[in-house]
Structure 1
Amino acid sequence: MEPSEQQQAVRAVAQRFVEIAPAGWARLVGNWEATRVDGRVNLNYVTLGVVDLQDRWGAGQFDFDERLYDLVVELHEAMAADGDRWTVLDLEVDADGAFRTSFGYGQPKRSLGIEDEESMGRFQDYLATWVAEHGERPQR
């Protein structure tokens, strides 16, 4: 997969993430672990949003979105065609349009039942980390 094609595919994932985001979101966070079973990609995912609730910040898990799931699978398969079969994709999207991605190639921990800081803890504590960095109340 050419770098420009990869960027386009990642942008499609980010755009769909934005389309399904709750009103007032400040940051969207996604983590997808990919495993192959019987030749098919299965995703174990955490998708959450940090939301401006006017008087405080809130955070919560997104519901399943089939189109987002399919776009992540398509990205995985397209990158795998070049031999780069990632096992973990992290994506953060900010309300100003900035986004960051990282790909991991090790064992997908959550999918193996390992719930440590990397696989789950950072998401369980995401709101507390956000508040520590941005203050208890959204700036007006």
Structure 2
Amino acid sequence: MKKNITFSLLEKIQKTQLRKTILNIKILHDKRMHDTKQLQVLNNYEQEYIKKIYKEIVFGICVHKWIHYNDFIILLRKIIQDNEIFLKKNDNILKKSILNWFKHENKRKIWHILNIKNKKKILKSKKIQARILNDNDIQLKFLKKG
């Protein structure tokens, strides 16, 4: 009887860990989508800014303005690189979380299978005990008659 409780308890624990892992994966995926959009906005902003600076260079630009534009573009590229690195780290975390989910799912399946097998064994042993009791009752009846 304790084995049945143990297997079902382990299966429940694994299910809760699965739910937590799935929730974590959803959060990471949403965050990844947000970060990807943000990176795309930054890249678009950089392209627009470069076009704007190119137009001003064609018409003539003073040195101080050029230095400010250049500093801003360098800073923007650094921010974009940092976001790309951050996005790669999050991708790695997401991959690890998905692998973790697979592990938890496999463990849950194993506990579920063991739980089912254990329930079948318990049911079989209960049937055998019922047969033995029934046989004892029949033998007792025959002994009383005989």
| TM-score normalised by structure 1 residue count | 0.28
Higher-Rg member (1/2): 2
Instruction: Answer 1 or 2: which has greater helix percent.
Output: 2
More RCO (CA 8 Å, sep 6+) = 2
Instruction: Answer 1 or 2: which has greater strand percent.
Output: 1
